[in-house]
Amino acid sequence: MAVVTSGPTQLELRGVSKSFGGVQAVSRVSVDVPKGQILSIIGPNGAGKTTLLNCISSVFHPETGTIVLEGQDLTRLSPARVAGRGVARTFQNIALFRGMTVVDNLMLGRHIHMKNGVFRSMLYWGPGRREEVEHRRVVEDIIDFLEIEAIRKRPVGSLPYGLQKRVELGRALALHPKVLLLDEPMGGTNHEEKEDMARFILDVNDEWGTTIILIEHDMGVVMDISQRVIVLDLGEKIAEGTPAEVKAHPQVIKAYLGTKASV
């Protein structure tokens, strides 16, 4: 149902490896992600999915390999720099400021684009104010887009889990990212919230052409919304292709569905 708009490669992973102690979490993974694609990463628990996302967003630096976004090497940059280059993400366990309102959380997502220093921003008048208004406009666009007007002024901690997930997506979108990394965006949500989230992911991709890489356990969702799927097992990429191809791949059935069936 998603529209295939595979342009030139935007994000390129070459032989990315990362280990923790003796455990090889990610092992020589290479992926080319075309601009505007929705790519899902699947695999059993401990397959290295989140680690791979963490490498892309520079939470960890890979031991070997390179990560290149539009010709620029991200491999050794700090997470803030990577965000500045247009990579935004959400987390498996929601990472928002629970005591702050939805609007304030989203405004923080604009932080990377704020140019005025502390002192100028503290002044009510002048460029600080103009900038604040401009960012608020962007944030209001996102609130409108995600249909969260009714909770705009609510502290995030008081919201149901599914809505917090949506706000977190909003915070990532506030960055106006080129690449959006979503770590289990539907984890822990109910059926209706899942459908909503799937629709928003497709809409983001559709509206802004954002490249989206997501980790998801719900196979139904993965098959529905992704244009391409890669499968990790024990840190290695064991399969790659369209959802239909991946579903039929014998190694996938063995590693992924097979282990599940034997539990």
Catalog residues that contact other proteins under the rule CB under 8 A. 3, 136-137, 140-141, 143-145, 147, 149-150, 152, 199, 202-203, 206-207
In the complex, minimum distance from the CB of residue 197 to other proteins, in angstroms, rounded to a whole number: 14
- Spatial distance between the Cα atoms of 111 and 2, rounded to a whole number of angstroms: 31
**Cβ closest to other proteins, residue 84 vs residue 160:** 160
In the complex, minimum distance from the CB of residue 259 to other proteins, in angstroms, rounded to a whole number: 30
**Cβ closest to other proteins, residue 106 vs residue 186:** 106
**Cβ closest to other proteins, residue 171 vs residue 237:** 171
**Cβ closest to other proteins, residue 60 vs residue 145:** 145
**Cβ closest to other proteins, residue 136 vs residue 217:** 136
In the complex, minimum distance from the CB of residue 5 to other proteins, in angstroms, rounded to a whole number: 9
In the complex, minimum distance from the CB of residue 138 to other proteins, in angstroms, rounded to a whole number: 10
In the complex, minimum distance from the CB of residue 205 to other proteins, in angstroms, rounded to a whole number: 10
